[in-house]
Structure 1
C-alpha cells in the first residue's frame, strides 16, 4: 500500500470498522504518540477501539495531503464524547515506515455554532491540483510563516496572501486581509496576542500546504495546525485548529 492507502486503512480500522486485528497489523508496536491524552505505543490505541465502537463515533475525512512518508488528514469526529467533546475538528498527521504507521500528531478544536466568515471549519475545496507546483507552493508558505507569522518581515504579507481573495475558516476571523487584521488587533487589545515561535512540520501536495507550529496566545503555550490553499502563487484560503499545549501529557514524546 502507498502511505496514503496505509493511513486511510488504519484510520478506517480504528474509527469505522472497529477492527482490532486489522489495526494491529497496520500500527507499529512502538507507535509514537503525540496526542497529549493518549499513552504512546500501539496497545493503548488497540485497547481503546471497543470503547470507540460503543460510543458510536463517526469519522469524516475532508482532505488528504501526502508528502513522501507523511500523511495529513483533515477530519471531523462526531459523537466524539470518548475523545472529549460531541464534535471535534482535527488535523491528524501520520508517519509511515516499513509498511506500518509509526507516528501520530494531532490538534483538535471544538467547532462553534457560528463563525465570523459564515464558513465552517472544514468546508471548501478538497481536490488536490497543481501537483507540479508543490515545491513552489511549499516555499511560499514557508516564507509566509517566517516573515509574517513569526514576525520576520510582517510588512511583506501581500507578497504571500491574495489581496483579492482570502477565504477564512478560522471561526474568529473574517475574510480578507481586513478580517485578519481586525481579529489580530482584537486579540492584542484583549491581552491575547498571538505569536508563532517555532514551526515543526511543513508538508505540501499540489495546492495545499500544511504546517504544525507552536507559540503562544497571551501567555498560554499553544499549538497551531494550519492548512493553506495556494492559487496563482498566493494564499487564497486558510483552515486551522488551535489548542492549548498542556504542561502534563500521557507520555514523554511532547506535542511535536
Structure 2
C-alpha cells in the first residue's frame, strides 16, 4: 500500500487504539511504518506531546509503540513541543535526509562527538523544541554541559528504528539519562544537508 494509504489507516484508528484524543501535527510514512507526532489529551484532561510508531501489514495495524512527555508551559527556547514546520517536502531526497539525521544522532548522541557539530546541525539557526534546550548548537552544547556537571549525563547507546519521508526523519533510540535507562524519540527536519529543526520525547523505560 502507498504511504498515504497507510497514513489514513493510522489516522482513522489512532484515538481508539491509544485510548487518547490526539491532535496530530505531523505524520510520515515509509514502507510498513507510520509515525505520528501529536498533542494527546488523556481522559482526565492532562496533555502531553506524543510520538507513536505504527506498523501496517496488509492494510491493518499490526504493531504499535508510543511514548508521551507532559506539555511544558515554559520552555528554554520559547517554542512549544509541537509547533513549527509541519508540511513534508515529498520532493526531498529521503535517503539523504536519513543519512543526515541518523549521522547526527550517531555522532553527537551515541558517540558524544561534538568536534564538528555544525556539520550535522544548522548552527545557530537550529530550531529546538526540546523544552530543556535553547535554540542553536550553542544552546544544545550548554544544556548538555550543565546536565553533565549535575550528574545527569545523556548518552544514546543504540538506534532501533528510522522512518524517513521527504525532508523529515524520525529515529527511535535507547540510552541513559541521569543514570536511568531511557527511550528517545527524535524527529528532525532537514534542509541543505543539515538538521534545521528538532522535536523529541524522552521517557524512562
Give the TM bin, normalised by the shorter chain: over 0.9
Identify the residue that residue 200 of structure 2 maps to in structure 1: 240
- Pairs within 5 Å for 1:52-67: 52=19, 58-67=21-30
Q: Which consecutive unaligned segments of at least 5 residues does structure 2 have?
A: none
When residues 132 and 170 of structure 1 are mapped into structure 2, their CA distance, relative to the original with a 3 A threshold, is closer
Whether contact under 8 Å (2:124, 2:135) holds in the other structure is: no
Whether contact under 8 Å (1:148, 1:156) holds in the other structure is: no
Q: In the alignment, which of 219, 222, 229 is matched to residue 182 of structure 2?
A: 222
Q: In the alignment, which of 149, 155, 176 is matched to residue 109 of structure 2?
A: 149
Q: In the alignment, which of 38, 58, 66 is matched to residue 106 of structure 1?
A: 66
Count residues in correspondence.
Answer: 202
Aligned counterparts of 1:194 and 1:87: Cα–Cα separation in 2: 25
* Rg comparison, structure with higher value: 1
Q: In the alignment, which of 29, 32, 39 is matched to residue 76 of structure 1?
A: 39
Q: In the alignment, which of 129, 149, 163 is matched to residue 189 of structure 1?
A: 149
Whether contact under 8 Å (1:91, 1:225) holds in the other structure is: yes
- The normalised TM-score by structure 2 is 0.93
Identify the residue that residue 99 of structure 2 maps to in structure 1: 139
- Pairs within 5 Å for 1:7-46: 7-12=10-15, 14=16
State the superposition RMSD in angstroms.
Answer: 1.7
1:204 paired with 2:164, answer yes
- Moved beyond 6 Å, runs of 4+: none
> Cα distance, 1:81 vs. partner?
4.3
Aligned counterparts of 1:181 and 1:152: Cα–Cα separation in 2: 11
Whichever structure has more strand as a proportion of its residues is 2
Aligned counterparts of 1:10 and 1:171: Cα–Cα separation in 2: 29
Whether contact under 8 Å (1:207, 1:231) holds in the other structure is: yes
- The normalised TM-score by structure 1 is 0.75
Q: In the alignment, which of 5, 8, 12 is matched to residue 5 of structure 1?
A: 8
Identify the residue that residue 168 of structure 1 maps to in structure 2: 128
Whether contact under 8 Å (2:7, 2:34) holds in the other structure is: yes
* SS of match in other structure, 2:93: helix
1:96 paired with 2:56, answer yes
